[in-house]
Structure formats: C-alpha cells, structure tokens
Amino acid sequence: VVAETAAAADAAARLVQVEYDILPAVFDPEEARTPGAPVLHPGRTPEDRVADASRNVVAQLHDGHGGDIDATLSASAVTVSGTWQTSRVTHAQLETHGAVGWLDEDGRLVIRSSTQVPFLTRDELAHVFDLPRENVRVFAARVGGGFGGKQEIFTEDLVALAVL
C-alpha cells in the first residue's frame, strides 16, 4: 500500500483482500534445474534478465577464460569432486534501505536512495518502467556500510511506481 499518510496507508491496508493460487513448488536448487521441474519464471527471456527460464536459471556468470577443461583435469595430479553446502548468509548493513522520489521540472523520474550502485539502479528502473535512461536520475547519499548488500533494486521500484 502506498499512501500520503500513515493513517491512509493503514486504512487502505485493511481493505486489501488476498487470494492465493496454490502452484507446484520446488524447494531444492538442484531439483529445480531438472527436466520437468515446475518452471518458476515462465515466458521470461534473457532480455528480461532471466538466463534460462526453462531450467530455472535466473543468472549465469562466465569468466571468459576458455580452455580445455577435460584436458586440464586429466593433467592434474589431484582432483576433488563433490557437493558442498553452506547456510544462508545475509548482509547486515549499517544503514537502512530507503528511497524517496519525485518528478523534476522536466518530468524526469528522480530517486534519492541508499543504493551502492546508482547507475545500475537507474538502468534497472529505466528497464522496468520502459523509460529512456536519460529520463531517470538516481543519486545516493554519501553513506557507507552497505557491504555489497545494496547492489540491487530493493525499494526504488516501489517508490518509482508511486511517483509515476
């Protein structure tokens, strides 16, 4: 709920009715990549920033270094293979996530945010809202302590939606 006052937001939130559709689920990343697993992002393409929706692969990294992996492994004195897991890790930023927004006198969307990556945030907002990049301005306060946890859209899209 987006509102101009806390009281209006509270009143509007009380009017919200939620209806859930129970969909097939998958709870293991390896299971999610198997053929026949429920597709989590149907119809998404790399243009939508989803690497391979049919295999539930949202992102892929390629370091660009080629080479013959099989030959390298064969020539290695020792190889180790297995599957290792760690518990979930989350950042604990020193500052809160926050954003405010408005349209400037030229009609450009302006977002002031606690993001660590204002240019990426600008590009993401332009993509999400189908706006020219030059019509989106994002700037961040000089505050540190994000530790890498503020490198994606978190609140900025919601603020932009309210502004637009």
What is the domain partition of the chain in residue ranges? 18-61, 99-163
Choose between 157 and 85: higher pLDDT: 157
**pLDDT tens, residue by residue, 66-94:** 788 889 899 999 999 998 888 877 777 78
Q: Phi and psi for 136 in degrees, rounded to 5?
A: -130, 130
**pLDDT tens, residue by residue, 56-72:** 777 776 666 778 888 98
The residue count for the chain: 164
Quick one: average pLDDT of 116-141? 95
Q: What is the pTM of this model?
A: 0.55
- ∠ CA 50-52-58, rounded to 5°: 45
Choose between 18 and 146: higher pLDDT: 18
CATH 3.30.1330.10 is held by the domain 99-163: no
Contacts of 90 (CB under 8 A, 6+ apart): 149
Give the type of residue at 152.
E
Can you spell out the DSSP letters for 32-55? HTSTTSPPSSTT--GGGT-SBGGG
